[in-house]
């Protein structure tokens, strides 16, 4: 076995709430029972040319395994899911549908949530932000209602828990501080089911331990 190493924030901007994208990769590795090392990087280090050879956009996580270097949490989780049992259905059609939900998480649900994060963190003091915020939130509610309609009374998006759920749960977690998730009770319960998984708990504790260091 080759050692798996991921990069993570030396100090996460969320102080250890688990919202940084390394959590997705940690969670996937915990689900399939693969050990991994963590290389913490500072905000300064991750913008250096050396780090950008691992991650061209200067972000975390980057993933190394022997001479393989990957980035993008979705691609890393898919790589893990393809090489270990537990995150993708065995039948070809179910597998393709689980991958569809991975792309839906980052391509359809996450962009309006990122807009909210940007509006708060980057444009929070701009004169237009208070007036604009209802529009930003409305776009999120539209997507969450559609997702909630699809989920119905199911536990997961398509049968058993998959890498699609892992990505979706983590994308939705970003909404918890805003109160928006609680307005969609079935999705709040869906996120809670994800968080209750032992693998999630181990991943969360591991990132919190780094952020709790003095």
Summarize as ranges the residues that interact with its own copies (CB under 8 A).
52, 56-59, 67-76, 78-79, 93, 96-97, 99-100, 102-104, 106-108, 110-111, 114-115, 118, 122-123, 126-128, 131-132, 135, 139, 143, 146-147, 149-150
Q: Residue 188's CB: how many other CB atoms inside 10 A?
A: 18
CB 96 → its own copies: shortest distance, Å? 5
Nearest approach, Cβ of residue 65 and its own copies (Å): 9
How many other CB atoms are there within 10 angstroms of residue 93's CB atom?
8
Min dist CB 72 to its own copies, Å, is: 4
Give the C-alpha distances (Å, rounded to integers) separating 165 from 32, 64, 131: 15, 24, 34
Distances from the Cα of 197 to the Cα of 3, 161, 194, angstroms: 25, 10, 6
Q: Of the two residues 144 and 206, which places its CB atom closer to its own copies in the complex?
A: 144
CB nearer its own copies, residue 113 or residue 181:
113
Closer of 142 and 201 to its own copies (Cβ): 142
Nearer to its own copies, 75 or 189 (CB): 75
Residue 53 CB, shortest distance to its own copies, in Å, is: 9
Question: Is 128 or 214 the residue whose CB approaches its own copies more closely?
Answer: 128
Cβ 201 to its own copies, closest distance in Å? 26
Other beta carbons within 10 angstroms of residue 178's beta carbon come to: 16
């Amino acid at each position: 076995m080759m050692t798996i190493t991921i990069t993570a924030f030396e100090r996460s901007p969320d102080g250890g709430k688990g919202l940084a994208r390394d959590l997705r990769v940690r969670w996937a590795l915990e689900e399939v029972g693969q050990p991994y090392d963590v290389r913490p990087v500072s905000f300064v280090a991750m913008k250096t040319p050396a780090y950008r050879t691992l991650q061209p956009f200067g972000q975390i996580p980057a993933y190394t395994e022997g001479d393989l270097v990957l980035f993008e949490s979705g691609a890393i989780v898919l790589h893990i899911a393809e090489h270990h049992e537990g995150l993708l259905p065995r039948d070809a059609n179910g597998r393709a549908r689980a991958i569809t939900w991975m792309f839906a998480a980052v391509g359809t649900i996450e962009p309006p949530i990122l807009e909210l994060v940007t509006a708060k963190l980057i444009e929070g003091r701009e004169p237009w932000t208070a007036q604009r915020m209802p529009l930003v939130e409305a776009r999120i509610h539209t997507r969450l209602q559609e997702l909630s309609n699809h989920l119905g009374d199911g536990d997961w998006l398509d049968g058993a828990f998959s890498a699609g759920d892992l990505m979706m749960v983590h994308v939705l977690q970003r909404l918890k501080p805003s109160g928006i998730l609680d307005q969609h009770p079935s999705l709040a319960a869906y996120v809670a089911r994800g968080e209750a998984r032992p693998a999630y708990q181990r991943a969360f504790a591991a990132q919190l331990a780094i952020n709790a260091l003095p």
